Amino acid sequence: MDRVMTTLAYLCAAAAIIPLTWIIVYVVIKGLGAWDAEFFTGLPQLFGDGGGVRNGIVGTLVIVGLATLMGVPIGVMAGIYLAEYGNNRFGTVVRFLADTMTGIPSIVVGIFAFGLIVVNTGGFSAFAGSVALALLMIPVITRTTEEIIRLVPDSIREASLGLGVSRWKTILRVVVPTALSGIVTGVLLAVARVAGETAPLILTILGTNFPISANIFDGPSTTLSLQIYQLGAQPSPEVVEVAWGAAMLLVLIVLGTSILARVIFRGQSVRGR
């Protein structure tokens, strides 16, 4: 019976891995042919040779970067509060809302950002897209930070407090540094999640085939995920090939970020033993 259950468990594990492997291999096969110098330096062309995705790469870095700058401080501080002070009714409410936010469809967050920023400012912008992505990042970072900080042994806190160090200094100078690798892991996983979001960006940055505006508060922008959506619907085979190339690049970015997060967390776990 044990052998049967073990074999069944292996088969289920393989069934979970095969679809991901299949997707990665298929995307690489379809997209590798689009990778050349023009792909990384050119702008999208709806006809002809298809062009490149330079503005999508820049837009992804800018928008995800801004979202990270906005989401990380809020998410980390909220996680610290829940772990250290959250054993009360307010903490329960915050924890419930964070869990709820992780399950809300991203298009709903996009509609919220559209109504809050795009409508009131009169135009699409990279800032609006960054706010939408930050709202998706915050609950993930909050809950990850809380769980990681709860793993820090109480003996470390008690030793610091016993030396006369205040509670906040203990948190900032002892607890957070001890849990830093886990917090970074949570941030990277949140970044990997939002890097591939498309629905909220359709409503906030619109998309463009031209160089993105230097003003993050005014003018349409684009990202790799949005270019995949827009270029993949074009009738030209060359343009569709560029979309596959962008999909391959995005998959590698997300996969690389996830692997980096695992390596950081595993390295800290090994050192902590």
Q: How far apart are CA 248 and CA 35, in angstroms?
A: 9
Contact 190, 71 (CB under 8 A): yes
Q: In Å, what is the CA distance from 161 to each residue of 82, 148, 171, 175?
A: 19, 20, 10, 11
Closest by Cα among 58, 76, 38 to 213:
58
Above 50 in pLDDT, residue 151?
yes
Q: How far apart are CA 38 and CA 56, in angstroms?
A: 13
Q: How far apart are CA 39 and CA 168, in angstroms?
A: 50
Domain locations in the chain as residue ranges: 57-272
Closest by Cα among 156, 21, 145, 154 to 71:
145
3 or 1, greater pLDDT: 3
- Segment 136-156 shows an average pLDDT of 92
Q: How far apart are CA 102 and CA 97, in angstroms?
A: 9
User: What is the structure's pLDDT at 90?
Assistant: 93
pLDDT band at residue 268, thresholds of 50, 70 and 90? Answer: low
At residue 4, φ and ψ (nearest 5 deg) are -65, -45
Q: How far apart are CA 195 and CA 185, in angstroms?
A: 15
Rounded mean pLDDT of the chain? 90
User: What is the structure's pLDDT at 160?
Assistant: 86
73 or 193, greater pLDDT: 73
Question: pLDDT (tens digit, 9 = 90+) per residue, 27-81?
Answer: 999 999 889 988 999 998 877 677 899 999 999 999 999 999 999 999 999 999 9
Q: How far apart are CA 94 and CA 158, in angstroms?
A: 26
pLDDT band at residue 267, thresholds of 50, 70 and 90? Answer: low
Question: pLDDT (tens digit, 9 = 90+) per residue, 36-48?
Answer: 988 999 998 877 6
- Segment 207-218 shows an average pLDDT of 87
- The CATH number of domain 57-272, selected from 3.40.640.10, 1.10.287.3510, 1.10.3720.10, 1.10.10.10: 1.10.3720.10
* Prediction pTM value: 0.90
Q: Work out the angle at residue 40's Cα, subtended by the Cα atoms of residues 260 and 246, and round it to the nearest 5 degrees.
A: 65
